[in-house]
Amino acid sequence: MPSSGTASPSRRERWAASGRAGRHAVDSTDERGAMSLNGKVAIISGASKGIGRVMSELFARQGARVVCAARSAALVEETAEAVRKAGGQAIAVVGDASTEDGARAIVAGAVKGFGRVDAVVNNAGDGGPTKPVQDYTTEDWFYTINSCLTSSYMMTRFAVPELIRAGGGSIVYVSSMAGRRGLPYRIGYCSAKAGQVGMTYGMALELAPHNITVNAIAPGAVEGDRIDRVIAGQAQVRGVPVEEMRRAFVERAPLKRMSRPEDIAALAAFLCSDQARNLSGQCIAVTAGEPAV
């Protein structure tokens, strides 16, 4: 049929006009319907290394403008620079997410740099020591709780007004199977990670009227420096060789392997995309097949 001279509206234009754009106010699927984070501004805390760095790189490849946040100025700038060198958009914001001033500065930096906030991935947190409860000091307890749990509360508190202003968004808490199933000699970490799961459930209900989805990821063992430290600590407390302890961590997973940071990052990206618009109030285990309960 000959053209009438008026271009047909694109899929993106039809989507925006339909009123469905209210979820995040930006369409995060490409023209083929494939998942992307195109146009979104995502804050990733704990972005200096490990899972947070991998997340920053993946989110940028999916089209997000990434706010890399962490306490270490040198390391978080390395992450942001790696994203930019790969062709992505990223800024580094230095701040301690477990403090009011730090969390406020991170959110303010995102708004200053990119004008809005559409997604927050709460990945910050140091797992603290591995030791019997009778040796676990008050300082150990508050350090771990503040690092892993208070940081999630602070980031949520200061980011929610911006998510509401954006018309909706996504919050993801990177919890742990230690918060679902427990792990000996890690009382602070288990308690903090269980707290993140409870925070997920409560925030999902509270923020649903604002079009904000809230979910948690509960990884099992994930390759990297952190699990190496945990395995070494468990081996020391139990009096067994480190390699024997490592084999035990791997063998208990039916797939006989640890997860990779990329596995956690991919799930976080999905949860922040519009393809997950009806997924909220969930804690999703990534365990290489090990039952979640």
Q: Is residue 92 part of a domain?
A: yes
153 given a catalytic annotation: no
Q: By residue range, what is the domain housing residue 83? A: 33-222+260-286
- Provide the pLDDT for residue 8: 47
Q: Domain count of the chain? A: 1
Q: Is residue 25 part of a domain?
A: no
- Provide the pLDDT for residue 34: 56
Percent of the chain exceeding pLDDT 70 equals: 88
17 has pLDDT over 50? no
Q: Is residue 153 part of a domain?
A: yes
CA pair distance 293, 283, nearest whole angstrom: 12
For 215-236, the pLDDT digits (tens) are: 999 999 999 999 999 999 999 9
For 88-128, the pLDDT digits (tens) are: 999 999 999 999 999 999 999 999 999 999 999 999 999 99
Q: Is residue 243 part of a domain?
A: no
Q: Is residue 293 part of a domain?
A: no
Q: How confident is the model at residue 7 (pLDDT cuts 50, 70, 90)?
A: very low
pLDDT averaged over the chain?
A: 91
Range in 10-14, 36-40, 253-257 the model is least confident about: 10-14
Q: Is residue 272 part of a domain?
A: yes
Give me the amino acid identity at 274.
D
For 257-284, the pLDDT digits (tens) are: 999 999 999 999 999 999 999 999 999 9
Q: From the centroid of its chain, how far is CA 53?
A: 11
- Provide the pLDDT for residue 44: 99
For 41-77, the pLDDT digits (tens) are: 999 999 999 999 999 999 999 999 999 999 999 999 9
- Provide the pLDDT for residue 293: 64
Q: How confident is the model at residue 14 (pLDDT cuts 50, 70, 90)?
A: very low
245 and 231 in contact (C-beta within 8 Å)?
yes
Which CATH number characterizes residue 78's domain?
Answer: 3.40.50.720
Q: Is residue 7 part of a domain?
A: no
Q: Is residue 208 part of a domain?
A: yes
For 161-214, the pLDDT digits (tens) are: 999 999 999 999 999 999 999 999 999 999 999 999 999 999 999 999 999 999
Query: Who's near 253: CB < 8 A, 6+ residues apart?
Result: 220, 221, 287, 288, 289, 290
- Provide the pLDDT for residue 25: 47
Catalytic entry in 143, 153, 189, 201: 189
